[in-house]
Amino acid sequence: MRVHVLNRLTVFPFITPKLRYSPFYIATHQRSYFTYLNMTMKPAAPFHYLSNSIEENKTLDLSDLNTIILNSQKETQDAFDVGSKLKSYLVQVRANIERNASDEHKSKTQLDLDALLKSSLPHDNKVPRKGNISNIYGDYIRLAVYHHFLETGKLLPQSSLLKEFSDEEYLMGIITVNQDLARYSIGRATKRDAESVIMARNLVDAILSHLMQYDFRNGNLRRRYDGVKYALKSCETVLYELSVTGCDLPDDKYDEEPAAKKAKVELTSDLLPNEELRDLNKRMEHRDELRETLIKKCRDAQKAAKNAIYSLHRDDVSKAHELISTCEKIVLEQLMPIVEEEPMLRYGSFANVLEEYAEAKMFYVWLVGNDNVEKVESAVKPSGKVLLHHEFSTVPLEPEEYLGGICDLTGEIGRYAVKRGTFRDEDQVGFCLMTVMNVLYAMESLERLPGGVGKKMGQLRSTVEKIEKMMYELSLTKATGRNVKADLDDTKMDQNDEE
């Protein structure tokens, strides 16, 4: 059976040799040819050159951690919702007080507020608060202190409140209530009630004298404390304006002593619950001492973790193991007891130490493969194992501390890749790239990133791009025929021969 192959002349007999080589014919023929290629071919896989490393580097699974993060986010959102309801009730109670509403309406709103408050307060006043709920509790105390002043003219004792409120929340309440007292002074001055203005001024001055005994750190309390001085100045200005406009001021024995002298002596005014405030001041001083001790000891632990990373880059695995053990010992024996006594101190220097520790331990395991190995002189080839969150059993980590450590780990892997790239070790550079890519994909698969972890995602993507470019440059070097692969041992031998 004969198969007839139709050529162009058979199909198009009118095409002459002269027309066949014309520019129009050539362009049409080339278009048809490339259209055929596009129909039968497709691009290669994007990272096909890493196929050998995929088998050795398994996909990082952070699904368990994702569940923990989502549960924590839900608790935070629930705290915001409760805070919004509490704030709404607080506004209604304040409005009832200022509008002098009926006692029946006041009591109903107050009961609703107290019921919601008791259901939201944790049993331990040292438990870190979620969301902005601590500020709402401070607003509640502020309103309670203001209401107590309207009834007695004195400061509400801390013992009259629920014991679940923390010391910081009580301080926040007695600091911010001074703005209400300044506003109250202006309102009463409008009615020429100088006696009420003096009572408000005296309480503000007494509170300020007590607050001057504290060493407030930069933070929420410090920012609010600065406003107490302006509240006192506002009250004194109102009194002065009343006096110069002919208002008779009652005898004010409180002003017989200069204000500068009153600030230096111990406060003995009966406007304040002095004994309770002295105990409060002692507790705050004790917390300050714990904080200073924690910061000093954190430096030793953080230094040990950093030096462990430097030792791993110098191939001193045994020294790195010793330093990581030292860091763990400091955390467990010296830092943890302080944090257990004051849980709020976990966020800050201590969290930074745990993040540095996580980075050091993960880098050690990624290189050596087992955190119990201490007699290995150097890692010939990385194990590629990345510790998961639940595998930190010696020192448990919060999700934010673990994720911060794993992001920083990719930076150390990138430095290791540069080191291997100088010796034209394309396999290990590709291995590093695969690990960093797995971490990036795992991080991007999380539905939420807690705290400041999101700020480190840019560095993580940059590390991936740098190692990819390094792989490309190694391929160029190999294509030029200058791909001379050397090991560290070979370079050391060459140096010894030259000596």
Smallest CA-to-CA distance from 407 within 378, 446, 368 is with 446
At 413 the three-state DSSP class reads helix
Are 247 and 194 a contacting pair, CB within 8 Å?
yes
pLDDT confidence of residue 357: 96
Tokens of 356: 């540095």
How far apart CA 334 and CA 332 sit, in angstroms, is 6
Counting Cβ atoms within 10 Å, is residue 408 exposed (0-12), middle (13-18) or buried (19+)? buried
Within 10 Å of residue 345's Cβ, how many Cβ atoms? 22
Length of the chain: 499
Residue 454, amino acid: G
pLDDT confidence of residue 267: 42
Tokens of 282: 């002692």
Are 182 and 209 a contacting pair, CB within 8 Å?
no
pLDDT confidence of residue 106: 65
Tokens of 336: 């943890």
Are 374 and 320 a contacting pair, CB within 8 Å?
no
How many Cα atoms are found within 13 Å in the side-chain-facing hemisphere of 50?
A: 22
pLDDT tens across 266-282, in order?
444 689 999 999 999 99
Complete DSSP assignment for 86-112: HHHHHHHHHHHHHTT--HHHHHHHHHH
How far apart CA 497 and CA 499 sit, in angstroms, is 5
Are 373 and 321 a contacting pair, CB within 8 Å?
yes
DSSP code of residue 192: T
pLDDT confidence of residue 36: 53
Smallest CA-to-CA distance from 272 within 187, 152, 355 is with 152
pLDDT confidence of residue 149: 94
The domains located in the chain, with CATH, are 1-41 (no CATH), 121-272 (1.20.58.2140), 286-375 (no CATH)
Chain centre to alpha carbon of residue 94? 35
How far apart CA 436 and CA 430 sit, in angstroms, is 10
pLDDT along the chain (499 residues), means of 10: 44 49 54 56 64 55 90 91 91 84 69 86 83 92 94 93 92 95 93 91 93 84 89 92 83 50 47 93 92 93 95 92 95 94 90 95 90 54 89 91 94 93 88 91 90 89 92 86 55 39
How far apart CA 424 and CA 473 sit, in angstroms, is 10
Quote the Cα angle for 25-27-30, to 5°.
Answer: 105
Q: How far is CA 67 from CA 52, 70, 355, 454, in A?
A: 32, 5, 20, 18
Within 10 Å of residue 267's Cβ, how many Cβ atoms? 19
Residue 147, amino acid: H
